[in-house]
Amino acid sequence: DGGITQSPKYLFRKEGQNVTLSCEQNLNHDAMYWYRQDPGQGLRLIYYSQIVNDFQKGDIAEGYSVSREKKESFPLTVTSAQKNPTAFYLCASSIHSNQPQHFGDGTRLSIL
């Protein structure tokens, strides 16, 4: 079945450490997105990519980095510069930007 796979489901990070969250899709979608969700809140956009080798900052990009070397993959790195990284991270994709988005099941990141 086609879909979006995020891994790992749970991730723990030590202070000062960079971690990378994986997002893979086999839907042949051009656009991919990363969101952050804090408890009881809606989703906030971190980065998005409309096409391979291109990506744009969202509303809260500071302390995060991404790459889009392949159409099906859009990994997110949470750097040590992100001072409050504990959150639920969601990856999504769509055929084109502003089309309905398909979401993964998320990665929950915690700080040790």
Partner 1 sequence: DAKTTQPNSMESNEEEPVHLPCNHSTISGTDYIHWYRQLPSQGPEYVIHGLTSNVNNRMASLAIAEDRKSSTLILHRATLRDAAVYYCILSPPWSGGGADGLTFGKGTHLIIQP
Calpha distance 19→98 (Å, rounded): 29
Q: 70 or 96: whose CB is closer to partner 1? A: 96
Residue with tokens 């700080």: 111
Query: Min. distance of Cβ 43 from partner 1 in angstroms?
Result: 4
Minimum distance from residue 94 beta carbon to partner 1 (Å): 9
User: Where do contacts with partner 1 occur on this chain (CB under 8 A)?
Assistant: 4, 6, 33, 35, 40-45, 48, 50, 56, 58, 88, 90-92, 96-106, 108
- What CA–CA distances, in Å, run from 105 to 38, 52, 92? 15, 23, 10
